[in-house]
């Protein structure tokens, strides 16, 4: 059922007509997110600029049973901000103020639509550090990062978005504003609702402000590349580094296909005559950095690496990291549809998992490019296909099922950082088990009794 005219009129009155879009030309660009092969037209796209506007919009939606899909920059990789049919997309990119940098308490308060890059820059301008750096950081919003609990290239040592969220302002489905958390390092007053909203994928409330923890900038940093003739040698190196109790900032993996795609774009002279490459970074006290680097090099050599290259300057190091961030998009150079997975396994199982992915791809006659945050046990096998080829798309699905099953069998998870959204919805029940599913669904019903928030995503609400 298309949006009722009174709902649209109400939204226009609350947000101003320029912030309510309904023409086909305006809606088509919001009919997808970063996920491949998903498309759905919304009924309208609206922009809020203040928390009271979000409140007003949600009240109206709740009263009229109108579906609301909250959206940041639409870079999500599980279809989280994919519209549901005729929904209202509530886009928060115009709420992008940096509100307060508290140097005494090392916190940063921002609006949810601020980009991750703006957050990192604001921290850096004060000589501080905000570590989570998803590949999409130039454009992803902090609200989206919180809603997906996004990781990044530094997750190994510094953790993921969750580890930096101290407080949240959330607008609940019926329009009530909730603050959870504060500037205190410790706080056990009541259940941690903050943690409930982190990773909630727009299904439990609309995040409008985020209070973030910042940390001191590490004084030294070194970045190196190691190349390998076999993928499992690289994987084993990572397992060995962890087992040796070395926790560097970054251990990123790229396979041959990915290396070639990335270098075809970035042209920074990545080594091309290898099957796998590890991008390793150590930061902290200079003496520690030196020791960690020596240990990592030794372990890479022990696993027969071909070559180790050390970045000579800061610029070179950041060029390497930037290039790595483009990996997923760069893979699209060789195939129009890139369907990536996010399976994560205990880090002792990496070599096995890498071999398994290669075998599955071969069995189903699929092209795959694999990269990922290997230090986190998080791989992104990316199938290179064409959505118009139905047969191949079917084989991709079969391959994913096998990879998920194997990840779970090894004690891993079906998604490390991209979330469930719609793309992995059908796998969640199997993974989470009955008890978890029941609690998830009950929680959802309590917070959003009318089911207006991101319907169809993550799990279905309980029907009473």
Partner 1 sequence: MTDRAGLGYLKGLDYAVVQQCMHCGLCLPTCPTYDATHLERHSPRGRVALMRAIADDRLAPTKTFGEEMYFCLGCLACMTACPAGVNYAELFEHARAEVERVGQLATPKRSLIRWFTVKWLFLDLRRLLFFGRLLRLYQACGLQCLVRRSGVLRLLPKRLQELEALTPDIPPRFSAGLIAEVTPAVGPRRHRVAMLTGCAQDLIFSEVNRDTVEVLAHNGCEVYTPRPQHCCGSLHGHNGEIELARQLARTNLEQFPPDQFDAIITNAGGCGSHLKHFSHLLAADPAYRKRAEAWDQKCKDVHEWLAAIGLRPPRANGAPPVVVTYHESCHLSHGQKVVAQPRQLLRAIPNLNLVELAESNWCCGSAGIYNLIQPEMAQQLLERKLDHLAATGATVVATANPGCQLQLLNGAKQRGLNVRVAHPMTLLAEAYRRSA
Ligand X SMILES: Cc1cc2nc3c(=O)[nH]c(=O)nc-3n(C[C@H](O)[C@H](O)[C@H](O)COP(=O)(O)OP(=O)(O)OC[C@H]3O[C@@H](n4cnc5c(N)ncnc54)[C@H](O)[C@@H]3O)c2cc1C
Residues found near ligand X in the complex (CB under 6 A):
33-34, 69-77, 80-81, 92, 112, 134-136, 140-141, 143-145, 147-148, 150-152, 201-202, 206-207, 328-329, 417-418, 454
**Residue 220: strand pairing partners:** 284
Binding footprint of partner 1 on the chain (CB under 8 A) = 21, 23-26, 28-34, 36, 47, 73-75, 93-94, 115, 117, 136, 138-140, 261-262, 264-266, 326, 328-330, 332-333, 336-338, 386
User: Of 34, 31, 58, whose CA–CA distance to 44 is shortest?
Assistant: 31
The residue assigned the tokens 């064409």 is 386
281 binds, among partner 1, ligand X, none (CB under 5 to 8 A by kind): none
Considering beta carbons, is residue 26 or 397 the nearer one to partner 1? 26
Q: Which two tokens stand for residue 440?
A: 């998830």
Contact call for residues 461 and 425 (beta carbons, < 8 A): no
Contact call for residues 333 and 262 (beta carbons, < 8 A): no
Shortest distance (Å) from residue 151 CB to ligand X: 4
451 binds, among ligand X, partner 1, none (CB under 5 to 8 A by kind): none
Shortest distance (Å) from residue 136 CB to partner 1: 7
Shortest distance (Å) from residue 33 CB to ligand X: 5
Considering beta carbons, is residue 30 or 400 the nearer one to partner 1? 30
Instruction: Express the helix, strand and coil content of the chain in percent, nearest 5 each.
Output: 40, 20, 40
Considering beta carbons, is residue 250 or 385 the nearer one to partner 1? 385
Considering beta carbons, is residue 163 or 326 the nearer one to partner 1? 326
Report how far residue 281's alpha carbon sits from residue 259's, in angstroms, rounded to the nearest whole number: 18
102 binds, among ligand X, partner 1, none (CB under 5 to 8 A by kind): none
Shortest distance (Å) from residue 10 CB to ligand X: 21
Shortest distance (Å) from residue 136 CB to ligand X: 3
DSSP states of 231-254: HHHHHHHHHHHHHTT---SEEEEE
Considering beta carbons, is residue 136 or 282 the nearer one to partner 1? 136
Considering beta carbons, is residue 87 or 311 the nearer one to ligand X? 87
Quick check: helix, strand or coil at residue 447? helix
Report how far residue 223's alpha carbon sits from residue 397's, in angstroms, rounded to the nearest whole number: 37
Output the CA–CA distances (angstroms, integers) from residue 231 to 72, 174, 369, in the order listed. Answer: 36, 51, 12
Torsion-angle region of 186 (φ positive above 0: left; ψ -120 to 50: alpha; else: beta): beta
User: Of 326, 370, 324, 327, whose CA–CA distance to 351 is shortest?
Assistant: 370
418 binds, among partner 1, ligand X, none (CB under 5 to 8 A by kind): ligand X
138 binds, among partner 1, ligand X, none (CB under 5 to 8 A by kind): partner 1
Shortest distance (Å) from residue 202 CB to ligand X: 2
DSSP states of 299-355: HHHHTT-SEEEE--SHHHHHHHHHHHHTHHHHHTTT-SEEEE-B-B--GGGHHHHHH
31 binds, among ligand X, partner 1, none (CB under 5 to 8 A by kind): partner 1
Q: Which two tokens stand for residue 45?
A: 């796209």
152 binds, among ligand X, partner 1, none (CB under 5 to 8 A by kind): ligand X
Shortest distance (Å) from residue 382 CB to ligand X: 11
24 binds, among ligand X, partner 1, none (CB under 5 to 8 A by kind): partner 1
Shortest distance (Å) from residue 39 CB to partner 1: 9
């Amino acid at each position: 059922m298309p949006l009722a005219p009174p709902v649209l009129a109400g939204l226009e009155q609350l947000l101003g007509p320029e912030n309510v879009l309904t023409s086909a030309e305006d809606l088509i660009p919001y009919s997808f997110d970063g996920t491949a092969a998903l498309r759905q037209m919304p009924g309208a796209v609206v922009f809020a600029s203040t928390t009271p506007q979000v409140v007003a919009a949600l009240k109206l939606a709740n009263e009229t049973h109108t579906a609301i899909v909250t959206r940041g920059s639409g870079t999500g990789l599980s279809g989280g901000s994919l519209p549901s049919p005729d929904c209202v997309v509530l886009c928060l990119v115009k709420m992008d103020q940096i509100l307060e940098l508290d140097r005494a308490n090392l916190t940063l308060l921002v609006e949810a639509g601020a980009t991750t890059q703006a957050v990192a820059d604001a921290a850096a301008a004060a000589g501080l550090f905000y570590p989570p750096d998803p590949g999409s950081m130039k454009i992803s919003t902090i609200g989206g990062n919180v809603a997906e609990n996004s990781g990044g290239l530094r997750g190994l040592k510094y953790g993921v978005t969750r580890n930096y969220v101290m407080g949240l302002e959330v607008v609940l489905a019926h329009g009530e504003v909730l603050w959870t958390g504060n500037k205190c390092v410790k706080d056990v007053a009541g259940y941690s609702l903050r943690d409930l909203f982190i990773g909630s994928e727009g299904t439990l409330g609309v995040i409008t402000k985020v209070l973030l923890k910042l940390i001191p900038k590490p004084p030294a940093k070194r970045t190196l590349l190691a190349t390998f003739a076999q993928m499992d040698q690289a994987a084993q190196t990572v397992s060995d580094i962890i087992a040796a109790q070395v926790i560097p900032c970054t251990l990123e993996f790229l396979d041959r296909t990915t290396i070639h795609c990335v270098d075809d774009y970035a042209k920074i002279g990545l080594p091309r005559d290898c099957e796998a490459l590890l991008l390793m970074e150590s930061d902290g006290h200079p003496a520690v950095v030196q020791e960690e680097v020596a240990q990592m090099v030794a372990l890479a050599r022990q696993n027969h690496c071909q070559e180790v290259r050390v970045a000579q300057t800061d610029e070179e190091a950041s060029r390497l990291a930037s290039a790595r961030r483009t990996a997923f998009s760069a893979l699209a150079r060789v195939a129009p549809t890139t369907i990536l997975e996010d399976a994560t396994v205990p880090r002792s199982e990496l070599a096995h998992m890498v071999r398994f992915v290669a075998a599955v791809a071969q069995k189903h006659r699929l092209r795959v490019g694999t990269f990922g945050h290997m230090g986190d046990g998080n791989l992104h096998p990316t199938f290179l296909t064409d959505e118009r080829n139905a047969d191949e798309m079917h084989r991709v699905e079969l391959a994913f099922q096998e990879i998920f099953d194997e990840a779970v069998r090894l004690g891993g998870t079906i998604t490390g950082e991209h979330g469930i959204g719609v793309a992995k919805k059908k796998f969640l029940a199997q993974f989470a088990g009955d008890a978890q599913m029941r609690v998830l669904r009950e929680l959802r019903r309590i917070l959003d009794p009318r089911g207006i928030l991101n319907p169809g995503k993550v799990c279905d609400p309980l029907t009473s």
